[in-house]
Chain A
């Protein structure tokens, strides 16, 4: 188990490194971050000063090596610069300094990350609550009007992107009915939760529909098994058979999907956060791209790719724990 985790962790580091290398090359090699950050009004002297402070006057490989932290810092603006002798890279857990916010990328992300985490948690909660409930109900009523209607609705739910559903929900349930706030984040924890309901619900639709379809088909399959017939023959109630026996076995693919869905959740959050003015990592990513704030773009990509790697690993471990037939490769 430990060897498996170590191997997966190494693989994760490799994947993240490849992602960081590609994104760094794209972000820093195309155009001039100095000119973009300072805008068209900037004079050549201002641009030169900015370049020197951010280390942009160095070659791209030197900048990248400094960003990784394998050579001394080339960013004069870094608190660890120390006349070119200090280190200020990822190995030192220094994500650089935002061009726009003029503060460490870590601080900017640290303020935004918990907000996206709250949104992701509530989304997952909605996805599982709605998806699993409807999936089980449809499976136990296979062929009924409910089942057919559910399948059609789930298909619609999967097909509708969040940039369509988000504005519709915002307009209908927030603006016209006034049941929810019109976007924003709120001022204290429960207010944050209240503000998160509509964006989380929007994000959850696709996931819930997917979970429901998978759950339905797994449950239908599970309910056909001999052990279900045996359980019924032993006199167990329908509900007990469904939940204790069929449901547990049908859950395995869903657990795998939860891990895989993190990537979808993260990419979906970018759009949904913008639609609902939710000030998390997604809206930070959009702001950074629009402002071409390269260090923030790098930081967001790095965090997102780590999340996806960790979530996939946890999903694999959870599946192994739930299903004794699965043994992780030694």
Chain B
């Protein structure tokens, strides 16, 4: 204790800015080791089984998909040589594969080999096999025969056809533009069957992919070490090695980052967030962007008082989104519609978008027949955690302005999911949606389509059903013309803000910082910590 007191009293000053700067190279060059971190651990590198952010990151270093996203969240070819030919009825997609793409040479596949169309067929078949237990299979059940194959009613999937080594065709039961998004998900990344034959149940602990880095070692819960894949089809000068440290908490990560031990950080606790945001020395190496998610108040349209559209609208216009943002130190971006601003389908200057307008909210309460407010309390369901509690109190305050008294009910995450997804149970829920893929369909359909209503585990937690909206969404899903498709979603956005089954409130904001010697990093709207394209400006020089 004594030593500690002495140590704290006479300790050196903490560096306020980066400890190191780069060499000042003008052009991209390779070499060096990049060290990155995450506060949690990678569960598996089997893309059919992993579905969370970390597994995706780990997988994307060593694997590629047929399609990917650019920095505007638009689909672009990756292992596909070009975007697919789509049949006129929108049901058939023919892909031509890039030639010369090779799998890594690994223990399971000595010498590596070229990727062929059958690898894609084999991978999707494994994904759809019920025994695999993939949480992602439901994204692919529109492939002809996939549903029956998954149910064990047939041995093959006729909707996946290998035309030749470099051509593959998919046929769907219904036209569906989001199928391309599904193919860009890591679930569909092509695998080498030799990998699974060799490793068996341990396949998720290894990686045999076609990606820019080869997995060398993985000490579970500690770190994954990758080396550059020199036969990569899109080879460019890159760091020689990549170390992805797991289990490094936010505080430790921040201290290590400020010490120059970690290349970049992407999440901070509140004190560190304020430090990086206000530090002029870090400003050139930081960027803050809204995330591709949406948070709001779900109002159960089957339960009183939210069967009345005027009450729902009153709630939507009584929320002080800017006030919430101030209360959270700027860590959220106000949002007045379903689709966050980073994604296609977000409508600039949307008519009727939710915003704070107390006069309008009170007018809606009057139209609802409750000019002096509601007689009975409304129960708001919250998930666990301090932040949810803060939001709950903000809602109490905001809705108190229009005479709606809110009773907070905070539950564990498990109980919260169960309660909010069960029919006729929760009046109002603070909830959100993180995209599975950057397409408006991924927000509208699970949250607001009648098909997403279930008595238990309902994804449509507002239990909102509107045949006009359903028809629009079905049409938009099948529409191949992008301009027409977005116009349909614009109409959908107008309906939803007017009907207000949700009061849309905000998107989270993410602050990312990187070392001055880390170059080429641009936070991606779809992939978290997308460090695939960075390079290191070495040798670095210590400046603090």
Contact = CB atoms under 8 A, between A and B. Distances in A.
B246 A279 contact: yes
Interface stretch (B5-13, B103-111, B119-127, B514-522): B5-13
B413 A274 contact: no
B412 interface: yes
Nearest to B419: A31
Interface in B410-457: 412-418, 421, 431-434, 436, 446, 452, 454, 456-457
Contacts of B220: 108, 111-112
Nearest to B413: A36
Interface string A98-109: 101111000010
8 contacts: A40-B432, A43-B446, A172-B4, A175-B14, A177-B7, A274-B249, A277-B248, A287-B247
Contacts of A108: 220
Contacts, number: 155
Contacts of A43: 138, 446, 452, 457, 459
Interface string B356-371: 0000000000000000
Which 3 pairs across A and B sit closest by C-beta, in order of nearness? Answer: A31-B414, A183-B252, A279-B221
Interface of B: 1-2, 4, 7-8, 11-12, 14, 40-41, 43-44, 46, 49-52, 130, 133, 135, 137-138, 201-202, 204-205, 219-222, 245-249, 251-253, 255-256, 258-259, 261, 412-418, 421, 431-434, 436, 446, 452, 454, 456-459
B459 A41 contact: yes
B259 to A, nearest CB: 6
A199 to B, nearest CB: 11
Interface string A41-55: 111111101100100
A272 to B, nearest CB: 12
B457 A284 contact: no
A168 interface: yes
Interface string A66-107: 000000000001010000000000000000001011110000
B343 to A, nearest CB: 15
Given A35-B457, A44-B457, A175-B14, A183 B417 contact: no
A207 interface: no
B221 A111 contact: yes
Interface in A101-147: 101-103, 108, 111-112
Given A44-B454, A157-B1, A174-B255, A292 B204 contact: no
Given A103-B44, A108-B220, A176-B11, A44 B247 contact: no
Given A35-B421, A46-B135, A274-B249, 18 more contacts: A40-B432, A42-B459, A44-B456, A44-B458, A77-B133, A102-B43, A103-B201, A171-B255, A175-B255, A175-B259, A177-B12, A182-B261, A184-B252, A275-B249, A276-B252, A277-B253, A279-B41, A279-B247
A112 B221 contact: yes
B44 A31 contact: no
Contacts of B247: 277, 279, 283, 287
A117 to B, nearest CB: 14
A184 B49 CA distance: 27
A313 interface: no
Given A172-B8, A177-B12, A279-B247, A31 B221 contact: no
B337 to A, nearest CB: 19
B413 A31 contact: yes
Interface in A148-188: 153, 156-157, 160, 165, 167-178, 182-185
B418 A101 contact: no
B135 A167 contact: no
A185 B40 contact: no
Contacts of B138: 43, 45-46
Nearest to B458: A44
A33 interface: yes
A32 interface: yes
A3 interface: no
B11 A177 contact: yes
A88 to B, nearest CB: 14
Contacts of B246: 279
Nearest to A110: B220
A155 to B, nearest CB: 10
Nearest to A53: B133
A183 B248 contact: yes
A3 to B, nearest CB: 42
A30 interface: yes
B258 A175 contact: yes
A184 B8 contact: no
Contacts of A167: 251
Given A41-B446, A103-B204, A292 B135 contact: no
A170 B4 CA distance: 11
A38 interface: yes
Interface in A201-229: 205
A31 B11 CA distance: 48
A17 B376 CA distance: 47
Nearest to A279: B221
Interface in A19-40: 30-33, 35-36, 38-40
A279 B222 contact: yes
A172 B222 CA distance: 24
Nearest to B40: A287
A284 B446 contact: no
Contact of B433 (A41, A156, A175, A279): A41
A287 B41 contact: yes
Contact of B245 (A79, A111, A184): A184
A175 B259 CA distance: 7
A50 B135 CA distance: 8
B259 A182 contact: yes
A30 B415 CA distance: 7
A153 B1 contact: yes
* Most chain A beta-carbon neighbours within 10 Å: one of B40, B41, B49: B41
A115 to B, nearest CB: 8
A39 B433 CA distance: 10
Contacts of B8: 168, 172
A197 to B, nearest CB: 14
Contacts of A32: 414, 417-418, 457
Contacts of A31: 412-418
Contacts of A41: 433-434, 436, 446, 459
B204 A102 contact: yes
A277 to B, nearest CB: 4
A100 B431 CA distance: 23
A185 B222 contact: yes
A118 B446 CA distance: 48
B245 to A, nearest CB: 7
B33 to A, nearest CB: 12
Contacts of B456: 44
A105 to B, nearest CB: 13
A49 B11 contact: no
Nearest to A48: B457
Contacts of B252: 170, 182-184, 275-277
